[in-house]
Amino acid sequence: MRIAGDIAGLHRVAASLTGVVPEMRGSAEALSGRVDGLVGDAGWSGAAAEEFKGAWEQDATATVELSSCVRLAGTALADLASGLEAAQRQMDKAVSDALDAGVPVADDGSVPPGVYPPAVIAAMKDYAAASEAAEKNAQDARDTATETLHEITAAIAGEPTSFLKSADVAVLAASLKGYYALPNEYAEDARGKLDDFNRRYKDTQFARKHTPAGSKAKAVLTAELADMRAERRLLRTDLKAAEDLAGHFKGGHFLGHSVGDLAESLGAVEDGSRLSRLLDGVPAVDVVLGGFATWAQAKEDHEKGWSWTHAILVDGGSNAAAIGAGLATDCIPYAGPVLAPFTSYGVGAFGYEAGHEGHWHEHVTSDGWVKGIGEGFADTGKATWDQDVVGMYHKVGHDIQHPREAAESLWHGVKNLF
């Protein structure tokens, strides 16, 4: 069974590209010397001479930069060829081991249906896991080469590049929006506490009014109302401070709207209905950003070979879990609203990597359920740390240094999604 790809041809192209780099650099340097000599020997001076020399220096610099791009392209193709070779050796070993164990592997890698003894069935499972791993390693090598070559061509064409993808921005926005909307949440909470207090205060006033004059109960209610007025002053002070803070975060109130709020404003559900109460707990902005992230992630996975159904289920599931985790954490008194964005991002990242880097089938097939699931969690945890913690830190750091280029690149990426 052969891994797809012209490995020998890739090696030849890589060698040719790498070999031409010294000639390109040497030619540019030699021509630069000739230009300097010609201008000097001819005694040419003045503005025109300086303009000519300056134009040539730009062209020579561009030639040198182009040679660097050629070298990088050659290296990328060489790495691709080496990666495909390693995957082919892995595949050959899987086929060889399977044949030695009595598995009738065909030339195309398939195994014909039939009745096999238990030992052969076990070898077939090992072969399926090993061949799948080889195919995955080959695809990883192709994806890495594609990304590298895209960055090289973007640099040559002068196109902006961003390390953050559209889905990354959507996920980060959904997490960070929680902190931006937090002051408004505190203001709403303070307003709710004052409203509850005012209801209790009116009930106490009503009870005092209808209590016989001179009674002990009326004296107790009078003292209680005096204490409540002091409590009301504190609640009003807290509300004023919370509203002042929320005033510095424009639009934060909008970010806190729920799906139920939007549905009620559009007349889609009746205010106070069971469906409305259910939707009141679902943040609208999180749903929109989660849907956008799911579409961007699913489109990328589909382009890499996944079916649309598989991609949407895996990516949508991880984003739904992120929203659910954020809502659950937000219910924790005091600390919940602060921890919710962390929890939401962490659960979503872990779920995404579990669906992409867990290798559950290979581990379970090779090592059984208990050990295989443990290895799947280990792979997922490592990928989450590498890609979504350390990797995201470097992506954000790069794009902060180049904000205009990053914004332009992300805009192009968003347009390409549709």
Per-residue pLDDT tens listing for the chain (418 residues)? 678 777 888 888 888 877 777 776 666 666 666 656 655 555 555 566 566 556 656 666 666 666 777 778 888 888 888 988 998 898 889 889 989 888 888 888 888 888 888 888 888 888 888 888 888 888 888 888 887 777 777 666 655 555 667 788 888 888 778 788 788 878 888 898 999 999 999 999 998 888 888 888 888 898 999 999 999 999 999 999 988 888 887 777 667 677 766 666 666 666 666 666 666 667 788 888 899 899 989 988 887 778 999 999 999 999 999 989 988 898 888 788 888 888 999 999 999 999 998 889 888 888 889 999 999 999 999 999 988 998 888 778 767 766 666 666 656 666 666 5
Closest CA to 57 of 35, 39, 42: 35
Can you tell me whether residue 296 is helix, strand or coil?
A: helix
Q: What does the block give as tokens for 334?
A: 């005091």
pLDDT, position 177: 80
Predicted TM-score (pTM) of this structure: 0.57
Reported in sequence order, the residue ranges of 146-236 that DSSP labels E, i.e. its strands, are none
pLDDT, position 110: 83
For the chain, how far is it from start to end, CA to CA, in angstroms? 38
pLDDT, position 149: 79
pLDDT, position 185: 78
**Which amino acid appears at position 242 of this protein?**
A
Maximum distance among all Cα pairs of the chain, rounded to whole angstroms: 119
283 bridge partner residues: 258
Q: What does the block give as tokens for 399?
A: 């794009």
d(CA 291, CA 312): 10
Neighbouring C-beta atoms of residue 3, cutoff 10 Å:
21
d(CA 12, CA 7): 9
Phi, psi of 27 (to 5 degrees): -65, -45
